[in-house]
Amino acid sequence: MAEDLTILHTENKADQYRSLIPQIEALLYGETDLVANMANMVAALKEQFKWFWVGFYLVKDNELVLGPFQGPVACTRIGPGKGVCGASWQQKQTLIVPDVEAFPGHIACSSLSRSEIVVPLFSDGEVVAVLDVDSELLDQFDDTDKQNLEQLVKLLRF
């Protein structure tokens, strides 16, 4: 029974992405401004999934600097390799953290955050920003989020 519920939950999330992605594509269509497009993307994601925090950090002068986000106020600057965001930047890959307390060096912008996914954005093979999503619940992110969020951030042009 528990397994069935898990499967239902996963299908439901995939369905949500399936309907959301074309809406975000339409929202961004014809607009080239990066900040405007990031702002609408995080607003659409927050609205759909009701996550605790959704936002971008942009690489500036070898630091991650807070960009458009939805949710409570957050840390403005993150150094290379620091926290989940800095680790994703350094490793050039998506990181899924089921329990932030078990991630060494996790930066707690809010003590309410329990699980997290960070997706890097690339330009010419270099990480230029990361998308960070936090949930108040443990173990909220999986490969469905990874695939879909990686697809979504490719809509942004640097």
Paired with 54 in beta bridges are: 70, 133
Q: Which residue minimizes CB distance to ligand SME?
A: 83
N- to C-terminal Cα distance for the chain?
46
Minimum CB separation of residue 134 from ligand SME in Å reads: 5
Minimum CB separation of residue 130 from ligand SME in Å reads: 8
Nearest to ligand SME of 132, 145 (CB atom): 132
Q: Which residues bind ligand SME (CB under 6 A)?
A: 53, 74-75, 78, 83-85, 106-107, 109, 113, 116, 132, 134
Nearest to ligand SME of 43, 75 (CB atom): 75
Minimum CB separation of residue 71 from ligand SME in Å reads: 7
Measure the CA–CA gap between 33 and 7, rounded to whole angstroms: 38
Rg (CA), the chain: 15
Nearest to ligand SME of 15, 93 (CB atom): 93
Instruction: Of 148, 124, 119, give the one whose Cα is nearest residue 55.
Output: 119
Measure the CA–CA gap between 30 and 25, rounded to whole angstroms: 10
